[in-house]
Amino acid sequence: MMSRTPSLKTVASAVGVSVATVSNAYNKPEHLSAALRERIFATARELGYAGPDAAARSLRSGRTGAIGVLSTTELPYAFTDPYCATFLAGLAEVVEQHQNSMLLMPLASRISAAPAQVQASVEAVRNAVIDGVVIDGIDDGHPALEVVINRGLPRVRSTDDPASRCVLIEDQAAARQLGAYLAAFGHRDVALIAASTDEPGTIRAVADDRTLYPYARLRLRGLREGLASAARVSVIAAGPNRAEDARVAAGRLLRGHPRPTAIVATSDVFALGVLAALQELDLRPGLDVSVTGFDDIPAAAAAGLTTVRQPIREKGRLMGRMLLDPSLTEQRIVLSAELVTRISTGPAPSANPGI
């Protein structure tokens, strides 16, 4: 009886009008008489026609009503990572206001490690039916980014790039301030626990910053500038942003000799792991060892963590607006970050009690 799923044509011939008219009934209701429009909708309902096909409509009209999201945080962790969840929430506000949907695409950040996964994310971007992309923290040259550029999709990045519109947070400047603050407290031996594209669970000292996530890299640079020659910085790459990895990494650092007097983490999530490690060893944050984070997630205040506050949600909102709100024409917006000092930092312990 029913010959496949009905299309515009089916409805058109059932009603006895042209396909264009049926199309207009859905898209320009004011361009045809109310009577006919109702007749069309009635027949459509009767035939079980659910409105114009989405793919065909996108193909012909060139619009899709969805924007893509590409983030360093791997999909399953995006929702539980406080930074990323806040960012997405800000973005979602704007997406909702503009009656769009958001397409989250899987992304392999670990370029070197998993070629098949990288290929998968390239495919995902290639096949994504979207009007534009918000790109949070992907390195220049990432194949998925290349596809976005090649496709000519409007894009907004959170990484400085003269070829793209972008929303930046003054990461590096804030980290510099943090470095100066620690230097003033007399810290001479600082360890940085940095998020990297290594497998979760990986913990290794690194000399260069190549495997670090872009944001971690900026923070390391800023920290070095702020500390200047006051302190030596050792860098531990500890996989993506999981508290557990930071706890283990900090445990090793704290048992090592000489013990760093300050541990800087590239995120609050990491810093909370560091605090856990201190507690296990009965060390007092701010007195025995200073600890700092980044982001100022809600849990940071509760833990008394010195950190750098960033307008994460606002960043999400602005990136969304750059894509969806034509009245926002800026090419490049810089948001400032702010050092928030709490009890987890203090003067470096004066001397090594062991000597």
Q: ω before 52 within 30° of 0 (cis)?
A: no
Tokens, residue 106: 């899987």
154 binds a second copy per the rule CB under 8 A: no
User: Per-residue x/- mask for DNA, residues 54 to 73, rule CB under 7 A?
Assistant: --xx-xxx------------
Give the shortest CB-93-to-a second copy separation in angstroms. Answer: 5
Q: Which is nearer to DNA, 56 or 205 (CB)?
A: 56
* Total binding residues toward a second copy, as defined by CB under 8 A: 53
Q: Which does 129 bind (CB under 5 to 8 A by kind): a second copy, DNA, none?
A: a second copy
| Dihedral over Cα of 120, 126, 129, 134: its sign | positive
- The Cα 105–Cα 67 span in angstroms is 10
- The Cα 132–Cα 241 span in angstroms is 27
Identify the residue among 50, 184, 281, 287 touching a second copy (CB under 8 A).
50
Closest CA to 235 of 248, 225, 221: 221
- Cα 42 to Cα 1, 33, 36, 150, 215: the distances in Å are 19, 14, 10, 44, 55
- As beta bridge partners, residue 204 has 237
Contacts of 163 (CB under 8 A, 6+ apart): 149
Give the shortest CB-8-to-a second copy separation in angstroms. Answer: 13
Tell me how long the chain is: 355
58 binds a second copy per the rule CB under 8 A: yes
Buried b (16+ CB within 10 A) or exposed e, 91-103: bbebbeeeebebb
- As beta bridge partners, residue 205 has 236
Q: Which is nearer to a second copy, 76 or 353 (CB)?
A: 76
- The Cα 100–Cα 154 span in angstroms is 15
Give the shortest CB-39-to-DNA separation in angstroms. Answer: 9
Q: Which position has the token pair 């207009």?
A: 24
Q: Which is nearer to DNA, 66 or 193 (CB)?
A: 66
Identify the residue among 5, 80, 150, 352 touching DNA (CB under 7 A).
5
Residues 69-98 that bind a second copy (CB under 8 A): 74-80, 85-86, 88-90, 92-93, 95-96
56 binds a second copy per the rule CB under 8 A: yes
User: Per-residue x/- mask for DNA, residues 15 to 54, rule CB under 7 A?
Assistant: --xxxxx-xx-xx--xxxx--x------------x-xxx-
Give the shortest CB-114-to-DNA separation in angstroms. Answer: 25
Q: Which does 77 bind (CB under 5 to 8 A by kind): a second copy, DNA, none?
A: a second copy
Q: Tell me the backbone φ, ψ of residue 242, rounded to 5 degrees.
A: -125, 135
Give the shortest CB-59-to-DNA separation in angstroms. Answer: 4
* Total binding residues toward DNA, as defined by CB under 7 A: 28
Q: Which position has the token pair 């990895």?
A: 245
Tokens, residue 276: 């856990």
3-state helix, strand, coil split of the chain in percent (to 5) is 45, 15, 40
267 binds a second copy per the rule CB under 8 A: no
Q: Write out the residues near a second copy by the rule CB under 8 A.
A: 5, 48-59, 64-66, 68, 74-80, 85-86, 88-90, 92-93, 95-96, 99-106, 120, 123-124, 126-130, 147, 150-152
Q: Write out the residues near DNA by the rule CB under 7 A.
A: 4-5, 7-9, 17-21, 23-24, 26-27, 30-33, 36, 49, 51-53, 56-57, 59-61
